Chain A
Amino acid sequence: GQSLEQPSEVTAVEGAIVQINCTYQTSGFYGLSWYQQHDGGAPTFLSYNALDGLEETGRFSSFLSRSDSYGYLLLQELQMKDSASYFCAVENSGGYQKVTFGIGTKLQVIP
């Protein structure tokens, strides 16, 4: 089976940097994704890591360490609109490449 752990809530100040961690256990790891979901909205894709290292997309970066079964999402220059839930999702390497989502981290950005 697969399991993921991420903090349930994080609070950070506008303009600051915040890191949301995700650890996972899975048989046949293929990749780790991050999704953002605003209250009342649908999840939207942010980033994907299949190999170790850092992927940068504007203010958002995502990191993966396959040997540690660990990844994180880094949000820089926080804005109020970044207040949302952030889900890590692990993709396995089975024939169907199933995706399992974590519980989500609710980020609150304060002035």
Chain B
Amino acid sequence: AQSVTQLGSHVSVSEGALVLLRCNYSSSVPPYLFWYVQYPNQGLQLLLKYTSAATLVKGINGFEAEFKKSETSFHLTKPSAHMSDAAEYFCAVSGIYNQGGKLIFGQGTELSVKP
């Protein structure tokens, strides 16, 4: 079975500060991990994905995430927050033997950016 836990349903940072959104996963098979962002009244947009190549994954908009197997974590970071980063962020997991494209989402973290 697979699951995802996002620590903190709401994170608030100041503009220019480090963004850290936490994601821990549970998977009995090698996982594929994804971060998606959702802006108000829009669908989900892929930020980055881990598919067993490099453990440090760079994504769009200056975001990156590091896969740490020993900690079963895939935290999302950005060195300097911008006002436009305010959105809902979802971590998701699927498996190498994934049945038909089933993606397991975390509960989401709402990021607020203060001026």
**Do A and B belong to a common assembly?**
no
Contacts from B to A (Cβ < 8 Å): none
